[in-house]
Amino acid sequence: MAIVEGQWREVALSDDEYRRIVELIGREPTLVELGMFGAMWSEHCGYKHSRPHLRQLPTEAPWVLQGPGENAGAVDIGHGLAAVFKVESHNHPSAVEPYEGAATGVGGIVRDIFTMGARPIAILDALRFGTLDKPRSRYLFSRVVAGIGGYGNCLGIPTVGGETHFDARFDGNPIVNAMCVGIVPHDGIVRAKASGVGNRIVLIGAKTGRDGLHGAMFASVDDPEASHRGVIQVGNPFLEKQLMEACLELLQTDAVVAMQDLGAAGLTSSIVECASRGGVGVDIDVARVPRREEGMTPYEVMLSESQERMVLVCAPDRVAEVQRVLDHWSLSASDIGVITDDGIVTVRDGDEVVCAVPVRNFVDDCPVYHVEASEPVESRQRREARIDPSQLAGAHTVAEELEVLISHPNLGSRRSIWEQYDHTILTNTVVGPGGDAAVLRVKGTPLGVALSIDCNSRYCDVDPFNGARLAVLEAARNVAVAGGRPLGITNCLNMGNPEQQPGSWHLQESVRGIADACRALEIPVVSGNVSLYNESSGVAIQPTPMIGCVGVVDDVSNARRPGWQTGDDLLVLRTGEPSLGASEWLSIRHGRSEGAVPAVDLDAERRLLTLLHRLAADATVHSMHDVSQGGLAVTIAEEALAAGLGADCSQATERGLHPVTYWFGEIASAVTVASDPTSRTSIIRAAEQAGVTCELIGTVGGDTIRFPDGSEADVESLRLASESALGSALESTELVSA
């Protein structure tokens, strides 16, 4: 069938890109080839706008066992074991059908982990929604959370952490990022690298349907008005559980040479990527692909994103062995093709060849765009806006301000979210949701792994370079206060349109910021994902370069969680000064999102991380908690709620700062420490040696938090305000889907 004028635009290819394809293959493409090029040259698969920036990221370290380029990254955690992890987005599908979009996002990231030979042990999620005064935002929020819980709970993998934020800029385009972590022996890591001419290509798992068509391309098209319900995948977590166990069993043998899940772009991306990594060709027959719908065309089979499917590469004499394992797990397998030595992707439909294109044309020849970007004037003006607390602060006491902030959906308890998740299944969870980072034990060893995921979207909107640096710092610091030593980072770059301002500038500066912070802290980026074109009705989301961090806890008995003890000294370790710029206080109390974000000192952050690692091993240190959104007062309130105990902070000096700045200003690097009074001197001395400011601000005890202005916040009242923050918003009106 001949390609008609402009048909390439339906698969997100530009006119120039189509002309380039014709030039590369020396003819007009077939319809199947056109669809495959559209998928492989999409931003989601080809990284054509982000690739030039991503080269800046540091990806190597002695403990990195697998960096970017595979299904997930892997770092050495000791005892011959590796942590395998990655974060990915499912933003666009979740905006259309939130339950299935979120659920299949979880399913996809889990497959990326067990494809590497690792058993998944934890899921984390990072979410953004519009303001909860809008019915559609409430609908998206409730259904996304239900989808994450529904899939993860059925799959039997605990969802142990994450973060959620609300802002009007996400009204039309939510952010749904899922992160998964698994454990595997070093020699058990499997790569998706096809090899062995004559080896068979075996498709296993679910039958192929029409769900998910054009999913990868849809994520690269700025088309907010179109209905894309046809691209939404439908998941089956029980089938995924069977698939996971079967794949992990197969990988205990040497029967499988390579394994690749079918995610974005389905069969197209899986066979092309496997062939590209191995430097080989592939020859498959789509007529052999099991289908659950009648009349499916080769085009639909190659581009379907039906879930719970995997491709295996195995020797011809091992196919029967593979089939026996799959039979045990009640899974089907179809031998659909062979590895060749010609470097060509050949797709047949019985006797008809519907695709014959060199692998390199799909991968190496994908165009790369360098968009020149500079800070827009409006962005500079917002960043340089002056915030004067003496003009903004009203007559409210510190305690009154605190109760307003803690009752806001951005700062209140997330209990109503994580209570929908099973976070203790598999019995590895030592520190679960509600803390700075989750900690899971690694059975059979003294080790634990600490996991966090963080980003302040408002910071990145005002100042994407420093906002991205601050995201890296917070993720690493959260791992550290939980007792972990950060080993690696995975990122998900959620941005607007990269082809125009301010999206191109946000992308450029965010990656530059991540690279700068990771180099300074010596934490490599081992995996990641890019989700661009997150816009609705011409309004881009706040740029959100989400940072997932994984660290090792050398002795899991030293894992830390928020919560102090009566009589503890309450100290603050700090590198930098509090700022009201782009703060939650400024947004909640005055509806403004502007001003300088907290100043970053990367050398000071390194010293602080080293100090925190030392304190985590000190038994007299009872808790550590990162100071982040909402500032010092909100951090203290969170500690008080975790322990059910107040604190007397009435003697805090406030260091000559305006009370609003001191208690609600946000700091680049700060941690509260609650310890036995006998260790106060040693902590202060250790902080001095590390070049970190340390100040005593209070004593733990009682049922209120007392401030220098004489005001008191009752802990039980704060609990009620915090835990009703999300519930009140959701109960205000009925949920609607549109």
Residue 562 pLDDT > 90:
no
Looking at residue 226, its pLDDT comes to 46
Is the backbone peptide bond immediately before 486 cis, with ω within 30 degrees of 0?
A: no
Render pLDDT for 283-308 as a digit per residue (tens, 0 to 9): 999 999 999 899 999 999 999 999 99
CATH number for the domain spanning 721: value is 3.90.650.10
In a domain? residue 630: yes
In a domain? residue 614: yes
Question: Coil, strand or helix: which one is 459?
Answer: helix
Catalytic residue among 90, 214, 423, 506: 90
Looking at residue 234, its pLDDT comes to 80
Looking at residue 273, its pLDDT comes to 93
Residue 216 pLDDT > 60:
no
pLDDT (average), residues 39-47: 91
Looking at residue 1, its pLDDT comes to 61
Sign of CA dihedral 404, 408, 410, 415: positive
Report in angstroms the alpha-carbon separations of 484 from 185, 359, 435, 551, 713: 20, 42, 13, 5, 32
In a domain? residue 691: yes
Residue 229 pLDDT > 70:
no
In a domain? residue 625: yes
Strand partners, 489: 525, 549
Residue 613 pLDDT > 60:
yes
Torsions phi, psi for 402 (to 5 deg): -60, -45
In a domain? residue 329: no
Catalytic residue among 44, 214, 228, 423: 44
pLDDT (average), residues 351-376: 94
d(CA 312, CA 335): 9
Across 35-39, 181-185, 372-376, least confident range? 372-376
Render pLDDT for 102-130 as a digit per residue (tens, 0 to 9): 999 999 999 999 999 999 999 999 999 99
Residue span of the structural domain in which 618 resides: 562-725
d(CA 677, CA 670): 20
pTM, two decimal places: 0.95
In a domain? residue 355: no
The answer to whether the CB of 701 falls within 8 A of the CB of 602 is no
Looking at residue 263, its pLDDT comes to 84
Element (H, E) at 722: helix 715-723
d(CA 738, CA 570): 48
In a domain? residue 605: yes
In a domain? residue 647: yes
Looking at residue 542, its pLDDT comes to 97
Task: Scan for tokens 């599908």, then name that residue.
Answer: 93
d(CA 474, CA 201): 43
Across 343-347, 429-433, 592-596, 733-737, least confident range? 733-737
Looking at residue 224, its pLDDT comes to 40
Show contacts of 327-331: CB within 8 Å, 24+ apart: 328/246, 328/249, 329/242, 329/243, 329/245, 329/246, 329/249, 330/242, 331/204, 331/205, 331/242, 331/243, 331/246
Question: Coil, strand or helix: which one is 175?
Answer: strand
Domain count, the chain: 1
pLDDT (average), residues 626-646: 97
Going by C-alpha positions, the residue among 349, 107, 130, 119 that lies closest to residue 239 is 107
Kindly state the percentage of the chain with pLDDT values over 70. Answer: 96
Residue 599 pLDDT > 60:
yes
Across 176-185, 455-464, 533-542, 647-656, least confident range? 533-542
Render pLDDT for 261-276 as a digit per residue (tens, 0 to 9): 998 889 999 999 999 9
Render pLDDT for 124-153 as a digit per residue (tens, 0 to 9): 999 999 999 999 999 999 999 999 999 999
Verify whether residue 90 is a known catalytic residue: yes
Looking at residue 264, its pLDDT comes to 83
> Beta strand 159-166 with 119-129: parallel, antiparallel or unpaired?
parallel
Looking at residue 561, its pLDDT comes to 85
> Beta strand 159-166 with 256-261: parallel, antiparallel or unpaired?
unpaired
Looking at residue 515, its pLDDT comes to 98
Verify whether residue 165 is a known catalytic residue: no
Question: Residue 679's pLDDT band (boundaries 50, 70, 90)?
Answer: very high
Element (H, E) at 328: helix 319-328
